[in-house]
Amino acid sequence: MILKHELIHYKRRDLWYKLLVLAATALHWFNPIVRLMAKAINTQCELSCDSLVIQYTNLEWKKQYCETIIKSAKKQMKFTTAISSYFLGGKNIMKNRILSIMDVKRKKSGLALICIAIILMAGKGNNWWKLTF
């Protein structure tokens, strides 16, 4: 289960994107919007990866996957890095991941984030690029 999860990160080149987000956060350390954006990107990246891992699986497999995530998180709480695959991220994020995995309804992850980004860019006018560079 863990190998499948990490293989999805590798195939999608998630660590490169996270490195880019880390660079943007380092350049704009003073901007709380950039920090919120980085947190949202990392969370959505993990949720979308989890959804691919559990695609076409039954409820028992999903339960085992959740247990594996929790056990691994307990073991690795001491070792986190900035460009990791955002395995921990806090109690609320882990809770949201577990609830997302066990949710049987169709998910619309990322739609709210895209809408917020469009609204922020529209409100900024022609200077929207100042938020990212």
CA distance 131 to 120: 9
Q: Are 109 and 51 in contact (CB under 8 A)?
A: yes
Please give the single-letter amino acid code of residue 79: F
Would you state the pLDDT for residue 79?
65
Neighbours of 97 (CB within 10 A): 22
Question: With a threshold of 0.75, does the pTM exceed it?
Answer: no
- What pLDDT was estimated at residue 86? 47
Measured CA distances, 63 to 39, 72, 113 (Å): 26, 14, 28
Among candidate residues 88, 89, 99, 95, the one with its CA nearest the CA of residue 62: 99
Per-10-residue mean pLDDT, the chain, length 133: 92 91 93 90 91 92 92 74 56 86 68 68 56 51
